[in-house]
Structure formats: C-alpha cells, structure tokens
Amino acid sequence: MVGRIPVLGIILLIIGLFSAALTVKMVFFDMPTAKNLMQEAIYVGSDKPLPENEGKIVIVNGALKLVKPAYD
C-alpha cells in the first residue's frame, strides 16, 4: 500500500501539469484569437439569411424558438 502512494502522486502531478499547460495555452493563444473572431462577427437581427453574410461568423439576436424538441 505504501508503494502505491508515490506512483499515484506522480500520476496526479503529471495530470496537474498537463492541465496547467492547457490553461496557459488557452489564456495566451486561444482567447485572443476568439476575441478577434468575435470582433469580426456580424450581428444580425433578421429571420432570414442574407447572401452577403455567406461564409462569415454571424451572431443572431433574438429569442430561441425550437421547431422540434431538443434532445441531448
């Protein structure tokens, strides 16, 4: 039982370092990219798609109305 504790500690340390590395990557690399994409996004309030927005990131404002029941 005593021999398992250092092995478990090493495994948890590796998992913690991996999680910390992913967090640092997200903060310094992914978040600025996401902010730039959100600034370039087009806000739309109309119900029908416009051809000039084809292929662009579009944020639609309004209430969500489901046609079919949503399932997870």
pTM of the model: 0.49
Specify the amino acid at residue 63.
A
Give me the percent of the chain exceeding a pLDDT of 70: 93
How much of the chain is in helix, strand and coil states, percent to nearest 5? Answer: 55, 10, 35
Mean pLDDT, range 40-66, rounded to an integer: 80
* 8, 9, 10, 70 from 3: Cα distances, Å: 9, 11, 12, 50
